[in-house]
Amino acid sequence: MKIAMIPMLLAGLGLVVVAGCGEGKPSCELLYKRLDKCDKMPLKKDVFMEMCNKKKDDHAEEIACSAKTGCDDFKKCMEDARKAASSKRAQKRFDEAMGKNDLKDAMMICDIHKDNLSEDLKKKCGELGPKAYDDFMKKATELRKTADKADYSLCFELKDLGKKLGADKEKAAELVCKEIDLQVTMKKATTEIDKRITEKQDSMPFYCMESTLKKFDEVGTDFAKEKKKELINACFIKMGKTILEKQVPEMKGFCRYSVKEIYKAVKQYELKDESIDALITQAAPLCDK
């Protein structure tokens, strides 16, 4: 039977090897003999010896197994040594990741080595999901305040963790990422509105259309409601002032489309502002029809 420890051992040595039996003091040379006897080695001895000697400090447990004289005992020893080495590597990499507060890398290490974790590391890995979720949620909540572009990587990680931790966490992750999208829309809208005002344009950007405003209603959170209010004010008061000042005095016999849209919004959202109140009153005879 081909022994599974061979690829496991030399995965650690950076190789793919096979196993053996013999006698003597534990060493790379004796390990080669054991591996070659118990399951013919595909590597030449000099190649194996060079690789083994370079990394023998990292694989002392495997080398120690060369003291086993019987192949069955040797194979069992190598399997246990492989698991112990994997556990040790996992612990080292986990500690390094946590030292840098790299929760994403730490979780990846837990997943890669999940079958060979020490009891202590299993516990730490189990606690890592909620900790990482809270960390990502904090970042997402902060980003929501100022985002000018979406962070797809952050939201992917947050939503993926949410799915693993339960329906409530998943829903919260989905919502905060939708709120980030709304903030990005708001940022783009205000930038476009400021540009149009500077250039004295007298037309509304598409960000002020009903279809855009509905997206805020669909999210429905307090944050979304507040952002919708800000967008309405930017569109129909700030941008509205520029349009009304230019078009209302020129209107004859009918209410122009842009003015009509502003007039309807002012009435629908009960907007009041001294910068447009007089112009709305002036437009009323034609736009109230």
Q: Summarize pLDDT for 8-54 with one digit per residue, the tens.
A: 444 444 333 333 333 568 888 888 888 888 877 788 888 888 888 88
176 and 282 both lie in a single domain: yes
Is residue 67 assigned to a domain? yes
What's the pTM value of the predicted model, to 2 decimals?
0.67
Q: Could you report the per-residue pLDDT of 232-257, keeping only the tens digit for each?
A: 999 999 999 999 999 999 999 999 99
Same domain, yes or no: 79 and 171: no
Report the pLDDT value the prediction gives residue 37, as an integer from 0 to 100.
85
Last residue of a domain, one of 84, 112, 127: 84
Mean pLDDT of the chain: 87
Asked whether 81 and 108 are in contact (CB, 8 A), the reply is: no
Out of 36, 53, 84, pick the residue that ends a domain.
84
For the chain, how many structural domains are there in total? 2
In a domain, 255, yes or no: yes
Q: Are residues 167 and 253 in the same domain?
A: yes
Q: Which DSSP string do the residues of 65-125 spell out, in sequence order?
A: GGG--SHHHHHHHHHHHHHHHHHHHHHHHHHHHHHTT-HHHHHHHHHHTGGG--HHHHHHH
* Residues 68 and 180 placed together within one structural domain of the fold: no
- Residue 35 lies in domain: 5-84
Mark whether 171 and 73 lie in a shared domain: no
Q: What local confidence, expressed as pLDDT, does residue 232 receive? A: 97
The phi, psi pair for 201, rounded to 5°, reads -75, 150
